[in-house]
């Protein structure tokens, strides 16, 4: 069995300020995670010549991958974070205050709620289909460096979690989720590299 390693990007400067979306750089803690991740990946996949690193097209995942050497890197637009549309760059507090109807609608049905000029979780799940097909087809290990909403959907697919749970699954920062697909089913390990 070959592993799939799932991780969020290192903490971004937007994360620190509680802002969603954007295309920001990493915080100091995020940069440290990128180094620790590179160390982990280089050890864990040392003899895996055909392994590859997949990121989104956003800076924070590309920068998180950048200290990793020796493996090809592929950028997927389909791995980009859920598009928050008009709410991109806002904090949840600001959305609640300035767009209370939007805030309530999302709270009621987070799976189906679509940000104005943005996406819903269902949209994200749909655009991930080609990524999942390619992941299933790979024989070598893959490291996927992406974003919380996207990883919720990918994780749910492999861990066989129901659709309605997807928007609420916890995918912590600075933690690697290793998925192994064997004949007896899916096994999961977690490596928390830092707080
Ligand atoms: O920036 C977006 C977050 O990673 C997604 O979180 O869907 O729980 O608001 P949320």
Q: What is the ipTM of this complex?
A: 0.90
Tens digits of per-residue pLDDT, 71-130? 999 999 999 999 999 999 999 999 999 999 999 999 999 999 999 999 999 999 999 999
Q: What is the position in ligand 1's atom list of the atom closest to the CA of 168?
A: 8
Starting at the edge strand that comes first in sequence, how are the strands of the sheet with 175-182 ordered? 73-75, 52-55, 142-146, 3-8, 175-182, 185-192
Going from the Cα of 125 to the center of ligand 1, the distance in angstroms, rounded, reads: 14
Which ligand 1 atom sits nearest the alpha carbon of residue 92? 9
User: Rounded CA gap, 3 and 48, in Å?
Assistant: 11
Mutate to test the pocket of ligand 1, among 12, 16, 20 (most ligand atoms within 8 A of CB): 20
pLDDT per position as a tens digit, 23-81: 999 999 999 999 999 999 999 999 898 999 999 999 999 999 999 999 999 999 999 99
Q: Please tell me whether 117 is known to bind a ligand.
A: no
Q: Tell me, using a 6 A CB cutoff, whether residue 131 lines ligand 1.
A: no
**From the CA of 107, how far away is ligand 1's center (Å)?**
12
Task: Provide the whole-model pTM.
Answer: 0.96
Catalytic residue among 19, 127, 147, 152: 147
Cα dist from 109 to 113, 122, 142, whole Å? 6, 11, 32
| Residue 149 near ligand 1, beta carbon < 6 Å | yes
């Amino acid at each position: 069995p070959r592993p799939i390693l799932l991780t969020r990007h290192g903490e971004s400067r937007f994360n620190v300020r509680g802002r969603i979306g954007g295309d920001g750089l990493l915080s100091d803690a995020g940069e440290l995670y990128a180094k620790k991740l590179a160390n982990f990946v280089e050890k864990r996949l040392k003899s895996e010549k055909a392994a590859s690193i997949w990121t989104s097209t956003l800076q924070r995942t590309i920068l998180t991958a950048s200290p990793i050497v020796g493996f090809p890197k592929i950028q997927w637009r389909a791995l980009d974070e859920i598009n928050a549309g008009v709410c991109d760059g806002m904090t949840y507090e600001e959305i609640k205050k300035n767009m209370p109807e939007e805030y309530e609608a999302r709270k009621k049905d987070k799976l189906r709620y679509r940000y104005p000029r943005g996406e819903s979780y269902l949209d994200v799940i749909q655009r991930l289909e080609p990524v999942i097909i390619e992941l299933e087809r790979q024989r070598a290990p893959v490291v996927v460096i992406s974003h919380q909403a996207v990883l919720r959907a990918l994780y749910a697919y492999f861990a066989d979690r129901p659709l309605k749970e997807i928007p609420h699954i916890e995918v912590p920062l600075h933690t690697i989720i290793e998925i192994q697909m064997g004949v007896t089913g899916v096994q999961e390990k977690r490596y928390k590299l830092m707080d």
